[in-house]
């Protein structure tokens, strides 16, 4: 029977989510944004309270990059790529600082992404509250901001998507 390896999709996403949230909390914010915006770890399916961040992941695909997929240690592997979609959400309603908030939240994400080139994958599958460090890395790549159109149901909500690419070697026994 095959065993899910430590460089799994779940572990990579949990590692990124936890580290980005921790790093966002450490960024110094201006006086008019005194508290860290709420972080939603999945695409918001219910009402959110802006300002807020949301994290979701978009699979790009896996590439067979090595002969017979041999990646060492008796394991097979593929080069896995994905995008972390970090949503920056604000409200325009009764908020004269909405544009400043939105751009500051973008700056916060860019500060974190710029200073993070790679992360050691942690084993959240084995222990979600105290994951062990693995010997594998996830590499953080480029970031791009994409504005979105106003929501017809919520015209006061403004959002910018920060799309951050990342890659690692998915391994299998």
How far apart are the C-alpha atoms of 97 and 95, rounded to whole Å? Answer: 5
Q: What is the tally of structural domains in the chain?
A: 1
Q: Is residue 2 part of a domain?
A: no
How much is the pLDDT for 60? Answer: 96
**pTM listed for this prediction:** 0.91
Tell me the average confidence (pLDDT) per consecutive run of 10 residues in the chain, 173 residues long: 83 96 95 88 75 95 84 86 96 91 95 96 96 96 87 84 96 86
pLDDT given at position 82: 98
Q: Which pLDDT belongs to residue 52? A: 94
Quick one: tokens of 161? 């998507």
Residue 3 lies in a domain: no
What does the pLDDT read at residue 2? 67
Q: Which domain holds residue 156?
A: 9-172
Whole-number pLDDT of residue 43: 63
In this prediction, residue 37 carries a pLDDT of 93
User: Which pLDDT value is given to residue 70?
Assistant: 80
pLDDT of residue 44: 60
Beta-carbon contacts of 40 under 8 Å, excluding residues fewer than 6 positions away, are 48, 52, 53, 54, 55
Looking at residue 51, the DSSP 8-state letter turns out to be: S
> How far is residue 169's CA from residue 153's CA, in Å, rounded to a whole number?
41
Examine residue 4 and state whether it is found in any structural domain, yes or no.
no
The reply to whether 95 falls in a domain is yes
CATH of the domain at 165: 3.30.2000.20
Strands 132-147 and 118-123 come out as antiparallel
Euclidean distance between CA atoms 87 and 144, whole angstroms = 12
């Amino acid at each position: 029977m095959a065993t899910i390896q430590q460089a799994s999709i779940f572990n990579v996403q949990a590692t990124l989510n936890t580290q980005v949230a921790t790093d966002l909390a450490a960024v110094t914010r201006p006086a008019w944004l005194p508290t860290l915006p709420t972080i939603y770890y999945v695409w918001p399916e219910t009402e959110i309270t802006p300002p807020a961040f949301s994290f979701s992941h978009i699979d790009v695909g896996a590439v067979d990059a090595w002969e017979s997929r041999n990646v060492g240690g008796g394991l097979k592997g593929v080069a896995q790529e994905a995008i972390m979609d970090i949503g920056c959400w604000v409200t325009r309603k009764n908020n004269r600082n909405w544009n400043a908030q939105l751009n500051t939240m973008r700056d916060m994400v860019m500060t974190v992404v710029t200073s993070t080139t790679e992360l050691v994958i942690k084993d959240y599958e084995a222990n979600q509250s105290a994951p062990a460090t693995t010997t594998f890395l996830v590499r953080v790549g480029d970031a791009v901001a994409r504005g979105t159109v106003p929501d017809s149901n919520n015209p006061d909500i403004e959002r910018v998507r920060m799309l951050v690419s990342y890659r690692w070697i998915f391994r299998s026994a």
